[in-house]
Structure formats: C-alpha cells, structure tokens
Chain A
C-alpha cells in the first residue's frame, strides 16, 4: 500500500492542501477573529484555511479511490540542484560579489541538465557573467560589488 500512496497523484496533492490548510487555521488562532460584521485579522485566513482543508480532503479521498499515478518520476535531482543554485546566488552575492555568484549559480543550475559538459558550461557562464555585468552594473547601475563583499 505504501509505495502506491507515494506515487498517488491526487492523494499527495490533497495531503498537501490539507496540511497547508490546517497550518493556516492553526497559525491564525493567534489573530483576533472578530465578527462577520467587524472582521478581525484572523477571520479571512481562518476561513481560507478551512476551505483549503476541505478541498484537500475531497482531492485526497478522490485520489484514494481513483489511484491515479504521478506522471513520470520525481526529478528530485534536477529540482534540488536548481533550488540550490538559486540559494547559492542569494548567499554569494552579499559575500563574494556578483561575478562569483553568477558563475556558481550558472554552473550548479547547468549541472541539473542531462547533457552537462563542464568546459562548455564554464565558457557560457563566463559569457553570461560579462553580459550581466555590462547590462546590470554598467547599464542599469545596480550597486552590487563585482567581487568581494559589501
């Protein structure tokens, strides 16, 4: 049963909605609800969370009944590398400067592709870095250091 559920498309989607909906309601407990006439800051999010929860339950149950599978496999490697490359950009821009941030982000993102060639990627990364510096630093005058921290 377990591997089935892990690839059951609507079950996972429903579960995701249920969890987010429940979280939304739980967190909104700290905000005053008010009345329908004078809504407090908690009214709208609580209502939304509850609605999302209900939609989630419906989708989840439907998934259990139909058992439809997720299309293809989860591309965990690709999404992980892309996400990592974006994180690295934010991390490096402050600390190492724009050029290293661009080159590292490009290379890590490029590694997510199936046909990754290091030499070629380094070359294109360099081109993109030069282009970005020209457009963003000199053209649009963004105030980021090219190399080194703030």
Chain B
C-alpha cells in the first residue's frame, strides 16, 4: 500500500505547527466569510487570496484550500438558516434544510449537514490519495495535443453545463480567453492588448477579474432584488440528530458521496450539478417522495455530502493535470501559478510535500470544520442577523484592500471597477460569469499548448483527432456539445 506511506508523509507535513495554524486560520476565515449571505466560496477566495499571497507555497495553498471548504460549509449553514444560498451548490440544501429550520429542527439539520460533509470529505480525501497518482501517471503521457483537447473539453463542458444558455456560455469562454491574452506573449515577447499601459503588459490579475466579475456583480444584483430576507432567528436548540435521523440520513449521505466524488472529477460540472443530481436521486429512491421539500433530512444529508465530496475531488484534475474543472478551481490554479507552482503530473514528483501535505490538510480541515462549527453555531446565527446594508460596503472595502495589496498599485483597483461594471452588465444579460473565469485562467495555457501541438505536427490540425487520447477528448467534446447545444437551438427555433 504505497499510498498509505504517501498519506503518512502528507500528515507529517500537515501536522507541522505552522501548517496546522494556517489550515485552522483558513477554515475559520472561510467559514466566517462564507456564512455571510450572498457570499459564495469564489468571492471568499478572491477576497482572502491576498492574505495568503506573501506566504510560502505550501502553507498558502493549505490555507486557500481551508478557505475554500470553510466557505462551502459556511454556505450550507446560511442555506439552512436564511434560505439564501451563497452559491448554487448549496441551493438544493435550502429546499429541505430551511423547512427543517422552520419546524424548529435547525439543530439536527446543521448537524446532519456537518456530519454528512465530514463523511464525504473523508472519502473524498481518500479518493484523491488513490486516484491522484494514477491519473498523474497516465497524464505523464500527455503531449501538447492532449492538453489542448483536454482544455477545450473542460471549457466547452463548463460553458454548456451552466444553468444559462449554452451559446452565451461559449461566448463567455471566448471572452475569457481574450481577456487572458492581455499581456506579454511568451513566445514573441510582444505586448498584446496593452494599449501602452505598463500595468497591462503583465496581464490582468485574477483577483481583479474574480472580484469585479463576481463580488461586484453579485452585490449589485442583491441590492436590486426586492425580496425581503427571512432569517431564522430562533434559538438553535438540540444539535444532535435523533437515532432515527441518523438512520434516515446515513444511506443518502453515502450515495451523495459517491455521486459527488464522480461529478467532482468531471470538467465543468462541479459541486452544483452533483448536489442537484443526488437530490433528484434521493427523491426517486424515497418511499414517500412527497416528504421532500417539507423538511426531509435526506434532502439535507445527500446534497451536502455530494457537494463536499465534489469539492474535494475537484482538486484531482486541477492538481494532477493542471486543468481546473470549475471556476473556483480555476481561481485556485491561478493562485498556485502566482506562487510559482506549475501544476500538472510532475507536481507529485517535484513537490510531494505540497501534494500530499495538501491532501492530508484537507482531511484535518474537514475535522476542524466539525469541531469548530457545531459549537459555534450560535455565533453564525448572530452573524446572519447582521444587516446586508452593513455587509456589502464592508465586502467592497476588503476587496479593494485585497486588490491593491497584490501589486501595491491603484491601477488594479481602477480596473476592478471597470470589470465590475462589465460583470454586472453580463449578469443582467443572463451571461454566466463562471465560464469566462475558466477561459481567462486557461487562456495562456491553451494558446501555448495549441501552438506547440501545431508546431510539432507541422501545422496539421488533424493531430487532435488522430492521436488516440487527444481524439477521445475531442470526441467527448463534440458529444457534450451536440447533446447540450443542439436541443436548445432546435427548441428555440420552434418557439421562435
């Protein structure tokens, strides 16, 4: 069992006092910000990234990962208590979780969410430890052509799988790729789309794009919506679920974990789709489906397990292939790149402390979440009663400080305002920003691999189809495209 040795090594790294402290800080901060209504993991990471910027690579990524699943976890607390998900992944938890809270069972709902997440987190960590090296070894065979078609697959999938319109999703990917072009071209040293502005020669910082696109747009959308928020302010009493609750929730949590683990690895799907899928599955399997939507504990356990499992396994393609499967992972990849770490199959061999230390710290982080959050539920409930009119200006201020501090340059802050306006317009026009972010992060990688692949093939584009692995990715891309896009085009024609 080689992987046990690796895990032991990882725990050795993660259990150092320094890394443990950063893991704890990340989880605590992530939960704290993630609990705030309307702030999802993506905004939380973008906002808190500058704090980790000056740390060494291993503690930085450990802290960022902690922020990520802390925020994800905080989001489910918010869904249960406020009926306002921080992001789509916890939207499903709202349905039954909020009903449970209204029936005075907020405590068991929160505990179930925490325990199901913890269980899924443990399994997810094991899956990474087992599948990561295998996938990484396989990926060592990848050449430029394989990477190009894999990235195209991830981009097309992310565009097509978003809730919105597929064609607009694809357009957003391309827009993201164009934003990614800004800056110096590595091959020729030529500055592109820089307009003679020295700051643009270095490219646009990812915190600038993420904050502008997500935080600003989200805040303005929240300000516009006139629905009053209904916060469950009753006291959370009796945290522990009953024996019957545990019996009811156990299998859904297991099934959710399996579904989530699979979805997490697939490009473009991620936690959101997995929690929807598993909720549907539980509803089908239930003896009495009508209980769903009225506070069924399965409806909390299964999606929470699924989105946490998916959140964990989403690290696999990001770490071993260097290809993020979701916008949040794209942000993590960008953060790693800024730290000077090139992810990919070689990361396990060259930086085993990073790879295995991160995996071990994920498990520790999940542990911390349970230990930290169940006793602190009262604090989170208090935090939820903070009015939004105090929160959103504070978020703006912190985002500004963060953006400024990456380069100590006001230009980044100005650019963030501009991208914020663009982001608001795009959201208003129902163009999903997540594919744009993925395109923006993958853009430079895609261009580099595309160039190299075509140089090696002497300009013959069939290389993407004739090389077997690359061909498989290309066929998968075409299939995803046909399955998802063609029906919408056809129905639109019919209705038009």
Contact = CB atoms under 8 A, between A and B. Distances in A.
Interface of A: 9-10, 12-13, 16-17, 20-21, 24, 27-28, 31-32, 35-41, 43-45, 48-49, 51-52, 55-56, 58-59, 62, 65-66, 70-75, 78-79, 82-87, 89-91, 93-94, 101-102, 105-107, 109-110, 112-117, 120-121, 124-125, 128, 132, 136, 140, 142-144
Interface in B216-232: 216, 219-220, 223-224
Given A20-B178, A39-B454, A52-B178, A82 B420 contact: yes
A82 B396 contact: yes
Nearest to B216: A82
A109 B461 contact: no
Given A83-B421, A86-B420, A45 B168 contact: no
B416 A86 contact: yes
Given A41-B190, A93-B413, 17 more contacts: A20-B178, A41-B192, A44-B447, A59-B167, A59-B168, A62-B492, A71-B428, A75-B220, A82-B420, A89-B401, A90-B400, A90-B404, A90-B417, A105-B396, A114-B223, A124-B394, A132-B397
Nearest to B428: A70
B202 interface: no
B392 A113 contact: yes
A95 to B, nearest CB: 9
Which interface residue of B171, B410, B414 has the most chain A CB atoms within 10 A?
B171
13 contacts: A10-B168, A16-B429, A17-B171, A38-B459, A48-B181, A75-B220, A86-B396, A87-B414, A90-B400, A90-B417, A107-B393, A117-B389, A143-B408
B410 A90 contact: yes
A65 B190 CA distance: 42
B223 A75 contact: yes
Interface residues of B, number: 65
Contacts of A105: 393, 396-397, 400
B80 interface: no
A102 B420 CA distance: 19
Contacts of A36: 454, 459, 461
A126 B174 CA distance: 43
B416 to A, nearest CB: 6
B224 to A, nearest CB: 5
A85 B292 CA distance: 44
Given A39-B451, A128-B397, A112 B220 contact: yes
Contacts, number: 199
A95 B220 CA distance: 28
Nearest to B386: A124
A31 B430 CA distance: 33
A48 B174 CA distance: 6
Contacts of A41: 185, 187-188, 190, 192
B192 A28 contact: yes
A82 B220 contact: yes
A99 to B, nearest CB: 11
Given A45-B193, A124-B394, A20 B175 contact: yes
Contacts of A66: 492, 495-496
B70 to A, nearest CB: 17
A24 B397 CA distance: 33
A90 B413 contact: yes
Contacts of A84: 417
B58 to A, nearest CB: 19
B397 A102 contact: yes
A125 B393 contact: yes
Interface string B398-413: 1111001100101111
A135 to B, nearest CB: 9
Nearest to B186: A41
A136 B447 CA distance: 38
A120 B423 CA distance: 29
A48 B155 CA distance: 14
Contacts of B394: 106, 124, 128
Interface in B304-358: none
Contact of B431 (A13, A31, A65, A113): A13
A15 to B, nearest CB: 10
A30 to B, nearest CB: 9
A35 B461 CA distance: 12
B192 A45 contact: yes
Contacts of B461: 36
A78 B404 contact: no
A24 B168 contact: no
Contacts of A40: 188
A45 B178 contact: yes
A52 B175 contact: yes
A78 B223 contact: yes
B206 interface: no
A40 B187 CA distance: 8
Contacts of B495: 66
B94 interface: no
A58 B181 CA distance: 24
A25 B492 CA distance: 30
B450 interface: yes
B421 A79 contact: yes
Contact of A35 (B219, B412, B459): B459
B178 A13 contact: no
Contact of A109 (B54, B171, B392, B431): B392
Contacts of A93: 404, 410, 413
B461 to A, nearest CB: 7
Contact of B401 (A45, A85, A94, A136): A136
A70 B428 CA distance: 7
B111 interface: no
Nearest to A72: B224
A27 B416 contact: no
Nearest to B181: A45
